[in-house]
Structure 1
Amino acid sequence: MSHSRSTRMPAEPDVDRKALWVVRELGLPAIIKTCVSCRATRHRPTGKIRVNANGKLLDVWMLIGCEQCDRTSKIPVHERVHVQALDHERLVMFENNDPAMVRRLAMDAALAGRAGYRLDWTGTWDLETDLPFYDLAKDDPASLEVLVRFELPVPIRVEKLLRAGFGLSRSAVRGMVGSGRIRLPMALDAKVRADFSLFVLATEP
């Protein structure tokens, strides 16, 4: 008789306090690709999306401008796609240069991978916490759950978030994660871009 092996996740601890950290959006990432005119590499969205129809087939491009010489380039979003294959609301957003759609395309890592450029997220975010300074170096009999919310899908190393949020050194963060005082749902060296929760366990009073 065979037995299936299951991996049980540790139960979430009881928490006495909750805190909210928000990764605030300061701006859109720069689009890094070489300009064919001046060979500079940094581009920004122009706010325009071009839709070209050839019968029932559509090409859709996001237009970007070189930060140095202002040359406009095209990023292919859809190529030779049948009009009926596109969601109507999405197509209307393309045709109207909808700012929300431009923002979504400008931060789309999958699009960057397909089109052969990368995103530079430097200076695009700041971490806002609703905590008074929470000194993890001291004993505290109360446990804490921290809810981390992202206003934009910027990839941030977990260790960097903890250092910024708690004001700790790299060695202190690694020590507390290693001891189990800070509990994470992913590896400390992982990069996150979506909402998650972490726990700070209480110390003995």
Structure 2
Amino acid sequence: MSSQPHIVLSWVVRRTRLPLLSLRCAVCRAESATAAKGRFRVNANGKLLDVWLLVRCVSCDRTIKLTVRERAPVSSFDPADLHGHHLNDPDLVAATLLDPWFARRCRFTLDWTDAWTLDAPTVPLDGWPVQVDVTFDDPVPVRPDRLIARRFGLTRAEVLGRVKSDIPLKRPTSTGFTFTVLADD
């Protein structure tokens, strides 16, 4: 990075709501659904349980069931998770929805548009270079070059010329990274 004295800032990317699901509705064929209310449905059949995460089509308001567990013995459930399914625990809904294995199995992707925010302090304009540590509370995929350009008011071309980073800037990431913005020469 830089051997000059520099300002060190911390940025945090936070989820503001659950993301939309890109999932085709069987009724209206729309490509978007939401799990905004975050409800599970638990159905018992003897000693076996089925658990679904209920999502709603944004276009026709129809309920879609995404299978979380199917025909699983009651004894195979973690008691805290089973209790969370019954109570529609918002943290368990978020953890289930953000699980990449669950998304692959249910064949949906997450649309993070307008579902996250960047908590970042004000950047002093006279103290260059600026080093920034970015952390993520949730796995929100963002392109570092767009994030940096928006926050510093730079073009993406300027970002590529003035920023030194430990990761590729043009590839989306959802894990923490560090970068340094150098003074304009």
Please, what TM-score do these two structures have when normalized by structure 2? 0.84
Is it true that 1:49 corresponds to 2:40 in the alignment?
yes
State the structure with more CA Rg: 1
Say whether the 8 Å CA contact 1:127–1:164 is kept in structure 2: no
Q: State the aligned residue count.
A: 184
User: Identity of aligned pairs, percent?
Assistant: 38
Q: Which runs of 5+ in 1 are unaligned?
A: 1-10, 177-181
Deviations 1:166-186 (A, max 9, x none): 22111111112xxxxx33221
Give runs of aligned pairs for residues 1-205 of structure 1, distance below 5 A: 16-45=6-35, 46-134=37-125, 143-176=129-162, 182-200=163-181
Pairwise CA distance, 1:65: 1.0
CA RMSD, 1 decimal: 2.7
Say whether the 8 Å CA contact 1:147–1:197 is kept in structure 2: yes
Task: Classify 1:99/1:167 alpha carbon distance in 2 versus 1 (closer, same or farther; 3 Å).
Answer: same
Local SS of the residue matching 2:179: strand
Deviations 1:105-150 (A, max 9, x none): 2333332111111211111123232023547xxxx5x543312132
Say whether the 8 Å CA contact 2:167–2:177 is kept in structure 1: no
Alignment partners' CA distance in 2, 1:153 and 1:15: 32
Q: Which runs of 5+ in 2 are unaligned?
A: none
Task: Classify 1:70/1:199 alpha carbon distance in 2 versus 1 (closer, same or farther; 3 Å).
Answer: same
Alignment partners' CA distance in 2, 1:57 and 1:19: 51
Task: Classify 1:57/1:143 alpha carbon distance in 2 versus 1 (closer, same or farther; 3 Å).
Answer: same
Local SS of the residue matching 2:82: helix
Task: Classify 1:110/1:167 alpha carbon distance in 2 versus 1 (closer, same or farther; 3 Å).
Answer: farther
Q: In the alignment, which residue of structure 2 is the partner of 1:5?
A: none
Alignment partners' CA distance in 2, 1:200 and 1:189: 16
Alignment partners' CA distance in 2, 1:13 and 1:55: 67
Alignment partners' CA distance in 2, 1:167 and 1:81: 52
Alignment partners' CA distance in 1, 2:2 and 2:44: 53
Pairwise CA distance, 1:55: 3.8
Alignment partners' CA distance in 2, 1:163 and 1:78: 42
Pairwise CA distance, 1:155: 0.5
Q: In the alignment, which residue of structure 2 is the partner of 1:8?
A: none
